Amino acid sequence: GIQVEQSPPDLILQEGANSTLRCNFSDSVNNLQWFHQNPWGQLINLFYIPSGTKQNGRLSATTVATERYSLLYISSSQTTDSGVYFCAPNTNAGKSTFGDGTTLTVKP
């Protein structure tokens, strides 16, 4: 099955800093989603991004499907951005394969 690697595994930032999270995947995908898991364990969908670039406020994402990677950018980070960020490519089978996640800690 498809392999998904996320980096870095852990990231500690000061409030206001910018960051880039990376997701590499081993196979062609139909789509890709980025999630933020909040402290209550809920998966919050950030982006559905099979290719190209999307922006939503301080967050943006880029997927280069031909090179099998996606990037999540967080600008002017806030303490509420803390949590685990998951990348989840979705193949023809319809199921999502999650990476191990990046744990982001934003310090005040």
Partner 1 sequence: EPEVTQTPSHQVTQMGQEVILRCVPISNHLYFYWYRQILGQKVEFLVSFYNNEISEKSEIFDDQFSVERPDGSNFTLKIRSTKLEDSAMYFCASIGREGRDTQYFGPGTRLTVL
Q: How far apart are CA 66 and CA 19, in angstroms?
A: 23
Q: Does 86 bind partner 1 (CB under 8 A)?
A: yes
User: Judged by CB under 8 A, which stretch of 12-20, 42-50, 57-65, 72-80 contacts partner 1?
Assistant: 42-50
User: Judged by CB under 8 A, which stretch of 12-20, 36-44, 58-66, 73-81 contacts partner 1?
Assistant: 36-44
Q: Smallest distance, Å, CB 98 to partner 1?
A: 4
Q: How far apart are CA 13 and CA 105, in angstroms?
A: 6
Q: Does 56 bind partner 1 (CB under 8 A)?
A: no
Going across the sheet that includes 43-48, the strands are 10-14, 102-107, 83-90, 31-37, 43-48
How many other C-beta atoms are found inside a 10 Å radius of the C-beta of residue 40? 5
Residues near partner 1, by CB under 8 A:
30-31, 33, 35, 40-43, 45, 48, 86, 88, 90-101
